[in-house]
Amino acid sequence: MESFLLPKFNKVNFYINFIKLKINFIYICINITTHVMQKPKLPTACPSCSNTLNVSQLTCPSCSTQVSGNFTLPSLVRLPEEDQAFILQFFLTSGSLKEMASIMGISYPTVRNRLDDLIEKVKANTPKD
């Protein structure tokens, strides 16, 4: 009977990789926060009645051309910032829930449940044609 030896678990490398993942996650969070803080937040709900707002005017920052109308906000824009950040992280990890769980320091099932909740939110907020 052959004996297979497994490589010895290296705690130092494990902790170094764990710290690198945490640093990457913090870096991404700082970039998202900095990006959000630099631009005024787009209001998505009416401050008076809490109904969803529509866009009525768009302006080109280069030539000041203006377009007026009644445009609905895309479903993803109407989500809270934390949900948008989750979707951005999902995109940046190429849809790898395992990698997201590792970066965020939470379990895979927790990430999966959060994604499922977001999918339901987007479905509920997407107008049917």
How many angstroms separate the CA atoms of 122 and 2, rounded? 54
Is there a domain that residue 73 lies in? Answer: yes
In a domain, 17, yes or no: no
User: Could you tell me if 77 and 42 are in contact, meaning their C-beta atoms sit under 8 angstroms apart?
Assistant: yes
pLDDT surpassing 90 at residue 15: no
The CATH number covering residue 70 comes to 1.10.10
Task: Tell me the sheet residues that pair with 66.
Answer: 59
Domain residues for 120? Answer: 24-35+53-125
Q: How many structural domains is the chain composed of?
A: 1
Q: Is residue 61 part of a domain?
A: yes
**What does the pLDDT look like over 65-104, one tens digit per residue?**
999 999 888 888 888 888 998 999 999 999 999 999 998 8
| Domain presence at residue 77 | yes
Average pLDDT, the chain: 81
Q: Specify which residues 67 forms β-bridges with.
A: 58
Q: What is the pTM of this model?
A: 0.57
The CA dihedral of 88, 92, 96, 100, to the nearest 10 degrees, is: -70
52: left (phi over 0), alpha (psi -120 to 50) or beta: beta
Q: Quick one: pLDDT band at residue 7, thresholds 50, 70, 90? A: low
Position 48 in a domain: no
Phi and psi at residue 39, to the nearest 5°: -110, 145
